[in-house]
Amino acid sequence: MMQITAVGLGKRFARDWIFRELTHVFRAGTATAILGPNGAGKSTLLNTLSGQQLPTAGTLTYEQDGRAVAVEDVPAYLAYAAPYLELIEELTLTELLQFHTRFKPLRPGLSSAQLIELMYLEKSRHKLVRDFSSGMKQRLKLALALYSAAPLLLLDEPTTNLDRAGVHWYQEHVRATLPGRTVLISSNVPEEYDFCPEQLLITDFGAQAAR
């Protein structure tokens, strides 16, 4: 399992600090909710912790089962779902799963056909992803992340575009895939993170809080 240690972490765009002086250990095997209002910097923090954005200040260290991991190698351990991440919409669902799992394998013993069943998308297996509803696309993004073999799972506003049935689907499957991995969830909706034993409030590390 992966552990992330942030020390004095800060991210700035131009003159504006998004967060500053953030020191926190995201413990291996624990689910942490990153909370705060819209626009507070939750997504920026997730992208920084994932290694997709470099911090302006401070340090990030990663350990997988006690062994140091270089930031450039973090993507190999990471599964990420967010409304703004794009799918390859020119492929059918079956083709997309075949392509995706070449680079990000599913959990041992789980086939692409079984994942389609878990998503309740059996009738759409040969449908182009571009013709999916926004809710179907979000369920697909979540399933690819939840059921990947990655030990680090990052979810940004996971129930965006989901109806009530979709929210219940998320709650069932995120709980089923928590054991054995480190999970970070960016949210301001309690039903997305109410199972998380740890919480971090991004506004505690805003520009005003850090002065």
pTM of the model: 0.92
Indicate the domain borders of the chain.
Answer: 2-205
Band of pLDDT at residue 207, cut at 50, 70 and 90: low
Rounded Cα distance, 38 and 187, in Å:
9
Q: Which residue has the higher pLDDT, 206 or 155?
A: 155
Q: What is the DSSP string of 56-71?
A: SEEEEEEEETTEEE-G
Q: Each residue of 52-85: pLDDT tens digit?
A: 999 999 999 999 999 999 999 999 999 999 999 9
| Domain spanning 2-205: CATH 3.40.50.150 | no
Provide mean pLDDT across the span 136-156: 97
Band of pLDDT at residue 39, cut at 50, 70 and 90: confident
